[in-house]
Copies of this chain bind each other. A is one copy, B any other.
């Protein structure tokens, strides 16, 4: 239950790898072999991380990826959301009054509470906590 996708786990490993480089860049190939992540899969992940701004990418020869912010300012929540979207236990967390009970729906409040608990935890941990710098 509540299992995390391989994609997100890979993303965290990749981000941790880049964090240890302290701003220097690495190619997808390097990260792939160092972290044991399938290259083509990793490429997609890095592109996704780039569109969110967590990493910067430079094309062409001598290109590669670099981290764009200090590891201690990158929350785990931002990585998870970049991969699999926002934490949303049930659909109706973002649309009030979806069911018959309207705005006073107890189940909905319960699930929102869960979302808040998860967001709070993921938002309180940063890349630095897991990068082992």
Q: Hey, which chain B residues are within 8 Å of A85, CB to CB?
A: 1
Complex Cα–Cα for A19 and B42 (A): 48
Chain A 1-49 interface residues, beta-carbon cutoff 8 Å to B = 1-4, 9, 12-13, 16
Q: Which of B9, B81, B117, B125 contacts A121 (CB 8 A)?
A: B117
Q: Which of B89, B110, B113, B125 contacts A2 (CB 8 A)?
A: B89
**A: number of interface residues (CB 8 Å):** 36
Complex Cα–Cα for A1 and B8 (A): 10
Contact B111 A4 (CB under 8 A): yes
Complex Cα–Cα for A107 and B86 (A): 20
Contact B1 A84 (CB under 8 A): yes
Q: Which of B83, B86, B106, B118 contacts A117 (CB 8 A)?
A: B118
Chain A at the B interface: mostly helix, strand, loop or mixed? helix
Contact B132 A106 (CB under 8 A): yes
Min CB distance, A97 to chain B, in Å?
Answer: 16
Complex Cα–Cα for A6 and B88 (A): 13
Known A-B contacts A4-B89, A88-B3, A89-B4; A130 and B117 likewise in contact (beta carbons under 8 Å)? no
Which residues of A come within 8 Å of B, CB atoms?
1-4, 9, 12-13, 16, 76, 80-81, 83-90, 106-107, 110-111, 113-115, 117-118, 120-122, 125, 129-132
